[in-house]
A and B are shown apart, each in its own frame.
Chain A
Amino acid sequence: AQSVTQPDIHITVSEGASLELRCNYSYGATPYLFWYVQSPGQGLQLLLKYFSGDTLVQGIKGFEAEFKRSQSSFNLRKPSVHWSDAAEYFCAVGVHGGSQGNLIFGKGTKLSVKP
């Protein structure tokens, strides 16, 4: 079975600074990889996803993520953070041919943005 780890529970960055959120997964083959964002009191919204091909994936709201097979990582990046990016971010791992029950979410990283 696959697993996913988000090592950072809480990160604080200054507005305008760059951001990198870490995600490590465990799975024998190339998984499906996702990043979702959850604003307070809301459901989750998909930022981007990786299935195959180009390892650098562009998403919404200026986010991107890079799949690194050798490091089993799928880190989320943004060059300049805005105050509205304050939210909780979830990395998720799915398996080819699996059901949504096979989609495993990390515990999340809460992002705070300093003015």
Chain B
Amino acid sequence: KAGVTQTPRYLIKTRGQQVTLSCSPISGHRSVSWYQQTPGQGLQFLFEYFSETQRNKGNFPGRFSGRQFSNSRSEMNVSTLELGDSALYLCASSLGAGSSEKLFFGSGTQLSVL
């Protein structure tokens, strides 16, 4: 069974641009969560989606948005990029929703904002 796939693997953008990151979960998994990982802040929760519905959102500005499609694939978008948005963005999928679920992580998208 294929794992969680995130594309692209690396991305370089300039301030003010927008970016869309993609995540394909493991087949059969209906929940997708997104995390931002930085050396200073560690892993911070962005969103959780289950069956196309956003269940929870982390403490990030409205420039960060996401969605989930009917096939469980998910995208996240960051508009008006800032230097501080440089980070590794990780997607995780699970069979169900909730904090008891085993999360399967992708390798992430490394975003650099110049």
On chain B, the number of residues with a Cβ less than 8 Å from chain A's Cβ atoms is: 27
The distance in angstroms between the C-alpha atoms of A27 and B113, with both chains bound, is 37
Binding site for A on B (CB under 8 A): 4, 31, 33, 35, 42-43, 45, 48, 55-58, 90, 92, 94, 97-108
On chain A, the number of residues with a Cβ less than 8 Å from chain B's Cβ atoms is: 25
A77 within 8 A of B: no
* Count of inter-chain pairs, beta carbons less than 8 A: 71
Q: Is the CB of B45 within 8 A of A43?
A: no
Q: Is the CB of A105 within 8 A of B43?
A: yes
Given A44-B90, A98-B98, A101-B55, answer yes or no on A90-B43 (Cβ-Cβ < 8 Å): yes
Query: In the assembled complex, how far is the CB of residue A71 from the closest CB belonging to chain B, in whole angstroms?
Result: 22
- A51: chain B residues at CB < 8 Å are 100
A111 within 8 A of B: no
